[in-house]
Amino acid sequence: MIKLKKRITSGYITESFTDRAHLSKSVQKSLVKRVKKHSGRDCTGKLSVRHRGGGAKKKYRIISTLDQFPGVEAKVLEFHYDPNRTAHLALIGLIDGRKRYIIAPDGLKVGDVIQSDPKRNLRIGDRSQLKNIIVGTQIHDIEVYPKSPSRFARSAGSYATVLAHDNNYALLKLPSGELRKVHENCYASIGQVSNVEQKNIQLGKAGRVRHLGIRPTVRGKAMHPAAHPHGGGEGVNPIGLKYPKTPWGKVAIGKKTRRNKKTDKFIVRRRVKKR
């Protein structure tokens, strides 16, 4: 649910938040660790990634998946906020007393019992191999290769859909619109990722962007010639080039950046271009 503030200032007029009333304010300390900030700098202290720096202090939450505990039932204890990602986390308790964080799917409730490779019918929050998931099911937190870290459909509100099974591969429609073949032995979780309303949030003011660790972006045209290929000139004038360039003189638009050609054979249809 989206919440609005009382319109006292101009920033509050468009500012909106997600409702976190159902989230616990506590943190499982055994599943939290400190991560040093780099602010876009490399090992020599020089700027390697522009427009990053500052932001609120935050600690990293260690996230697990149910396939690490095959056949073990887990009970949902609480839901927690994670400052490092848009999705919410579910704190689960295993039978032996251990506690773990998982990415919470939408519709999961406190007290629900979830499991990896259950012998019963799959429910929201369960985790299983793709070969056991029927066509048309919404899934998230998907492995790229068997026993590899999960990569697909992990952000708030995202999900992939199982379209078909053929020759030990499952055909998935990813959130980007890409159709991709994934091996049927890969694990995936059932359901859509929580915090579905995240995409409708409006930050409203520059301060909230700075809290996220994002610094201002300056147009190359507004810089001097030594700082950017687009810089220089008197008043409002064109960049004087056939095509836009990066600050380092390389092609800025239309240049292909994909390097992993080995996995091209698994892509049935490319992602849908944004308009």
- Are residue 42 and residue 170 in the same domain, yes or no? yes
- Are residue 135 and residue 258 in the same domain, yes or no? no
Number of Cβ within a 10 Å radius of residue 95: 10
Position 275 scores a pLDDT of 60
Q: Does the predicted TM-score (pTM) go above 0.85? A: yes
- Are residue 189 and residue 246 in the same domain, yes or no? no
Quick one: DSSP state of residue 245?
A: B
Does any domain span residue 205? no
Contact criterion met (CB below 8 Å) for 87 and 81: no
- Are residue 182 and residue 237 in the same domain, yes or no? no
- Are residue 42 and residue 172 in the same domain, yes or no? yes
Position 255 scores a pLDDT of 87
What span, in angstroms and rounded, lies between the C-alpha atoms of 194 and 109? 11
- Are residue 86 and residue 168 in the same domain, yes or no? yes
What span, in angstroms and rounded, lies between the C-alpha atoms of 153 and 138? 10
For residue 22, the enclosing domain spans: 2-199
Position 154 scores a pLDDT of 96
Position 128 scores a pLDDT of 95
242-256 residue pLDDT tens: 999 999 999 999 888
CATH of residue 251: 4.10.950.10
Residue numbers in the chain where pLDDT is lower than 50: none
- Are residue 20 and residue 66 in the same domain, yes or no? yes
123-172 residue pLDDT tens: 999 999 999 999 999 999 999 999 999 999 999 999 999 999 999 999 99
Domain total in the chain = 2
Position 193 scores a pLDDT of 98
What length is written for the chain?
275
